[in-house]
């Protein structure tokens, strides 16, 4: 059972998510979030030092979901693992639950603000590193081409995933999963021996 | 020689680009753009019916540069053409000249606003179509795998390009061109017979 304090925290997160998703991150004020959550400003600042901290919590919740999914989807070979990850894309998208436009907005603000830059670029670099290791593993097991620079191949994978998520976000296309599957097959075909 | 009216128009576009790039599209008001350009509001509305029209002009200027570059970069085979396009990515990036964050911002607003949706998604669909035709041409000339769905392959190419532009925008990485080159080689390797 949730304690009252945990409940308040969950209410704030839910209200913030709704406001950010509908009005954007910059346009949503702490006052509005408090009003929507039905909590006092004191309660808000007891749980979150700033709007930015609240945002990062929403971002991290989503990233944790992705990480857990990645761990669960590991297969015996790297190509099979990459295929399993591709099948997860719609789920990752759904789990974002309206967060994506606000992540993009925040990411863009990071290009103008040094302090939020670090927090935003860090998870991105983490995935780059994660896929670099995975490509190296594929090269070691003999499934992926040994002459490829693992870091660059990892950036191609992350770049394609980000580009596909963005396309899914913006075109609201029915056959999005098919596109993701074909794209990954083409990329895999290029990566494999 | 520019007429006085053309000069005014160019001033407004330059001032708007500066304000949009530094403060974001939503935060920049027509009043501020007029002040920065040193023109009256009357002169502004003589040239542009709205801030949105001004924005679309900046977007189209950039897209025209890309289109002209694509036409000039065509080679004898589709794989060579795709390689030539990849070499153009840093130039496309530079020609955007601070416009990219604002395009992204606008794109995100499109996901909340039906009226700007059309204008924003249209160029995206144009590139998707452009690359579908290019893949079909590659299949006809025998350089690309015939069994690929051309539309999905085109989305993979556009997705990768968008993802790479975004990575370039956000990580300010020195070796960005190398990443683009390796990524395209991997993708080409997957597309080619």
Are the C-beta atoms of residues A159 and B129 closer than 8 Å to each other? no
- The arithmetic mean of pLDDT across residues B122-131, rounded, is 85
Closest Cα to residue B110, out of A32, A172, A126? A172
- Binding-site residues on chain A for chain B (CB distance < 8 A): 22, 24, 26-27, 101, 104-105, 107-108, 110-112, 120-121, 124-125, 148-149, 152-153, 155-156, 158-164, 166-167, 169-171, 178-179, 182-183, 185-191
- In angstroms, the Cα distances linking B172 to A2, A111, A127, B164 are 43, 9, 17, 12
Nearest-CA distance from A55 to chain B in Å? 17
Question: Pick from A110, A125, A186: which is nearest to B187 by CB?
Answer: A186
Q: Give the least confident one: A18-27, A135-144, B108-117, B184-193.
A: B108-117
* DSSP letters for A120-152: HHHHHHHHHHHHHHHHHHHHHHTSB-TTS-HHH
Q: What is the pLDDT of residue A174?
A: 61
How many angstroms from the chain centroid is the CA of residue A189? 25
Chain A contacts of B26, Cβ < 8 Å? 24, 26-27
Shortest alpha-carbon distance between residue A187 and chain B (Å) = 5
Closest chain B CA to residue A103: B108
Q: Tens digit of pLDDT for each residue in A175-186?
A: 778 888 888 888
> Distance between CA B191 and CA A186 in Å, rounded?
6
- C-alpha distance from A6 to closest chain B C-alpha (Å): 32
- The Cβ of residue B53 has, within 10 Å, a number of other Cβ atoms equal to 12
Crossing angle (nearest 10°) for helices B100-110 and B51-72: 120
Q: Is the model more confident about A35 or about B174?
A: A35
Quote the minimal CA–CA distance from A183 to chain B in Å.
5
Q: Which of A100, A168, A183 is the best substitution to test chain B (most B C-beta atoms within 10 A)?
A: A183
Tell if the CB–CB gap between B156 and A183 is shorter than 8 Å: yes
DSSP string across chain A: ---HHHHHHHHHHHHHHHHHHHH-TTT--HHHHHHHHT--HHHHHHH-SSHHHHHHHHHHHHHHHHHHHHHHT--SSHHHHHHHHHHHHHHHHHHHTT-HHHHHHHHHHHTT-HHHHHHHHHHHHHHHHHHHHHHHHHHHHTSB-TTS-HHHHHHHHHHHHHHHHHHHHHH--TTHHHHHHHHHHHHHHHHB-
User: Domains (ranges, CATH) in chain A?
Assistant: 1-48 (1.10.10.60), 53-191 (1.10.357.10)
For helices A51-72 and A4-23, give the axis angle rounded to 10 degrees.
90
Instruction: Say how many CA atoms lie within 13 Å of B85 toward its Cβ.
Output: 24
Total number of residues shown for chain B: 193
User: Regarding predicted confidence, which is higher, A2 or A131?
Assistant: A131
pLDDT of B113: 67
pTM of the entire structure? 0.80
**Closest alpha carbon to B82 in B122, B133, B120:** B133
CA separation for the pair B121, B107 (Å, rounded): 8
- Report CB contact under 8 Å: B166, A159: yes
Structure tokens at B20: 């949009």
Select from B176, B187, B188, B191 the residue whose CB has the most chain A CBs within 10 Å, as the one to mutate to test that interface: B187
Burial (0-12, 13-18, 19+ Cβ within 10 Å), A102? buried
Rounded to whole angstroms, the Cα distance separating A74 from B34 reads 56
**Closest Cα of chain A to B174: distance in Å?**
13
Tokens 């502004």 belong to which residue?
B44
Region B161-165: mean pLDDT is: 82
Which two tokens mark A161?
A: 């995933």
Average pLDDT of span B167-179 = 71
- How do residues A39-61 score in pLDDT, each as one tens digit? 999 999 999 999 888 888 888 88
Query: pLDDT-derived band of residue B142, with 50, 70 and 90 as boundaries?
Result: very high
Q: State which residue of chain A sits closest to B120, comparing Cα positions.
A: A170
Nearest to A144, CA basis, from A190, A185, A192, A189: A192
Partner-chain contact B160 A160, CB within 8 Å: yes
Nearest CB neighbour to A182, from listed B125, B156, B169? B156
Q: How far apart are CA A77 and CA A82, in angstroms?
A: 9
Q: Where are the alpha helices (DSSP H) in B24-149?
A: 30-37, 41-47, 51-72, 78-96, 100-110, 114-141
């Amino acid at each position: 059972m949730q304690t009252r304090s945990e409940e308040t925290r969950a209410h704030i997160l839910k209200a913030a998510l709704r406001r950010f998703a509908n009005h954007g991150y910059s346009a949503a004020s702490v006052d509005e979030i408090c009003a929507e959550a039905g909590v006092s400003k004191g309660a808000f600042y007891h749980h979150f030092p700033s709007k930015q901290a609240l945002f990062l919590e929403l971002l991290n919740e989503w990233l944790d979901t992705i990480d857990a999914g990645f761990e669960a989807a590991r297969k015996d070979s790297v190509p099979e693992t990459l295929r399993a990850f591709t099948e997860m894309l719609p789920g990752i998208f759904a789990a974002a639950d309206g967060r994506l436009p606000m992540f993009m907005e925040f990411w863009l603000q990071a290009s103008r603000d040094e302090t939020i830059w670090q927090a935003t670029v860090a998870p991105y670099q983490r995935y780059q590193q994660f896929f670099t290791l995975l490509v190296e593993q594929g090269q070691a097991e003999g499934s992926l081409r040994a002459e490829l620079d693992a870091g660059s191949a990892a950036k191609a994978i992350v770049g394609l995933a980000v580009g596909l998520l963005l396309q899914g976000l913006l075109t609201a296309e029915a056959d999005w999963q098919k596109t993701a599957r074909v794209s990954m097959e083409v990329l895999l075909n290029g990566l494999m021996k």
